[in-house]
Amino acid sequence: MTEVLKIDSVLQQFYDMDPGFAQYVERHGIVSSIPETLMAYKRWKMDAISDMLDEEYRRAEFEKQLAESKAKGKAEGIAEGKAEVKAKYIMDTTLKILKLSAHNQSPIEAYKILKILDIPDDVIEAAKEQLSNEKDNTS
């Protein structure tokens, strides 16, 4: 360190003005010549690098898990949305067939058409109930 001070005049002026820096320069040579101190410094440096790599790995794993969770949530949301749209379409179709059959066909014919379309019985019953409620509200 003292050789560096001789080369750089600005650093030399700082050395002359700052007692803490002067003490660091003087002790650096002593400390850096002790093998145990050098080994301890190398261990500290390796630990710092290891900690940094561990943190980087944890951050990468977190980002990966976050991306996977977002993708899974998005896929689930899309699937739920499609299921809701399908359920609404089936209910609307069932209601239309039941309304048309009320004017033109017997309930048995409407039921046969709904079964051909693979409309579940619970949807048919819910549609019948909804039509019944609509009739009650308009009366």
74-96 burial, b for 16+ CB within 10 Å, e for fewer? eeeeeeeeeeeeeeeebbeebbe
pLDDT value for 89: 92
Tokens of 45: 């440096």
Is-contact 108 75, C-beta < 8 A?
no
39 vs 103 pLDDT, higher one: 39
Q: Does the structure show a pLDDT above 70 at 139?
A: no
Question: In the predicted model, what is the mean pLDDT of residues 47-69?
Answer: 97
pTM: 0.49
pLDDT band, residue 137 (cuts 50/70/90)? confident
Q: Which residue has the higher pLDDT, 102 or 90?
A: 90
In this structure, what are the phi and psi dihedrals at residue 117, rounded to the nearest 5 degrees?
A: -80, 5
Helical H runs in the chain?
A: 2-7, 9-17, 19-32, 35-104, 107-116, 121-138
SS3 1: coil
What's the token pair of residue 44? 């500290």
Residue 104 has pLDDT above 80, yes or no: no
Closest CA relative to residue 1, chosen from 41, 31, 37: 31
